[in-house]
């Protein structure tokens, strides 16, 4: 099953920033693609409050696709064709789940001219960039590296899963998540988010975020969390980095789910 690669024209604008997040399929799972628009909106306050206007960035989900039993080479081609849409060229950040099977697919994407930003989910306490030689990241012969020989470039970003989840909580609790009207998998998205829990392991004391049952996937949740972390991480200071510190036993986003979408 392969998704359509076209996006409704009226859902795209040339002066906005887009985020394409991809969760690569493992074995018989689905590869999931979501495209978001990072939409800034200026919020004004009454003059008597003395507060300056504030820019609020909304996360607008404008495109969804799932594919199963599609060769990795064809998946990369589909993603490349999708990002070749006129309004997305040089205006869309490609973010890929680089955990597990994602790494060889990231290499394949780079070989096909794409510039993915891989995020590797970790159990650490802070986000950590991983750098490598230009040639090892983008491939090719030593002769083709030229002036880039010995240059260190960002290979991937290691991000604690709790940071990603907390970013997703922030977006929903602040009601900054919005849906386009014609999405194909919105009900699946909502079900996955509602069933995504974070109980604390009694022995280790660590929190483990997963869906409640094996029959419900978390691919849409993964792509959402990466987009939420991306816009949250880039717009805060070092002291305000997303770190999950709430003393709760689980995340139950269903309480704010309906209020967070429109």
User: d(Cα 185, Cα 62) in Å, to the nearest integer?
Assistant: 11
List, as one string, the DSSP characters of 43-72.
EP--GGGTPPPEEEEEEEEEEEEEE-S--H
pLDDT tier at 2, thresholds 50, 70, 90: low
- Measured CA distances, 256 to 89, 168, 237 (Å): 34, 12, 26
pTM check: above 0.85: no
Return the C-alpha torsion angle 198, 192, 21, 243, nearest 10.
-20
Task: Give residue-wise pLDDT tens across range 65-109.
Answer: 999 889 999 999 999 999 998 889 889 999 999 887 777 889 899
Residues contacting residue 96 through CB under 8 Å, at least 6 positions apart: 21, 22, 24, 102, 105, 106, 109, 116, 117, 118, 119
**36: nearest Cα among 142, 136, 170, 179:** 179
- The DSSP bridge pattern shows strands 128-133 and 152-160 to be antiparallel
pLDDT at residue 198 greater than cutoff 80 = no
pLDDT in tens, 139-148: 755 545 556 6
Check: CB of residue 215 under 8 Å from CB of residue 151.
no
- 116-151 pLDDT, tens digit each: 999 999 887 888 888 887 777 777 555 455 566 667
CA distance 180 to 71: 29
The class (CATH top level) of 17-260 is: alpha beta
Q: What is the dihedral of CA 164, 169, 170, 176, to 10 degrees?
A: 110
């Amino acid at each position: 099953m392969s998704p359509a690669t076209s996006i409704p024209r009226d859902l795209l604008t040339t002066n906005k920033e887009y985020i394409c997040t991809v969760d690569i399929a493992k074995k018989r799972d689905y590869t999931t693609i979501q495209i978001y628009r990072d939409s800034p909106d200026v919020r004004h306050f009454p003059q008597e409050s003395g507060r300056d206007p504030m820019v609020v960035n909304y996360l607008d989900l404008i495109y969804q696709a799932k594919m199963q039993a599609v060769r990795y080479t064809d998946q990369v081609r589909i993603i490349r064709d999708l990002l070749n849409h006129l309004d997305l060229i040089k205006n869309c950040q490609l973010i890929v789940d680089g955990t597990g099977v994602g790494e060889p697919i990231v290499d394949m994407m780079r070989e096909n001219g794409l510039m993915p930003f891989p995020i590797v989910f970790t159990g650490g306490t802070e986000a950590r960039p991983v750098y490598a030689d230009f040639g090892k990241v983008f491939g090719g012969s030593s002769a083709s590296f030229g002036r880039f020989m010995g240059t260190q470039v960002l290979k991937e970003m290691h991000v604690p899963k709790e940071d990603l989840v907390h970013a997703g909580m922030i977006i929903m609790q602040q009601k900054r998540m919005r849906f386009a009207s014609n999405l194909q998998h919105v009900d699946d998205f909502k079900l996955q988010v509602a069933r995504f829990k974070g109980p604390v392991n009694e022995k280790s004391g660590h929190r483990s975020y997963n869906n409640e049952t094996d029959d419900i996937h978390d691919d849409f949740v993964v792509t959402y969390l990466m987009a939420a972390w991306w816009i949250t991480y880039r717009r805060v200071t070092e002291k305000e980095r997303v770190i999950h510190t709430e003393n709760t036993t689980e995340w139950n986003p269903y309480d704010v789910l309906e209020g967070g979408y429109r």
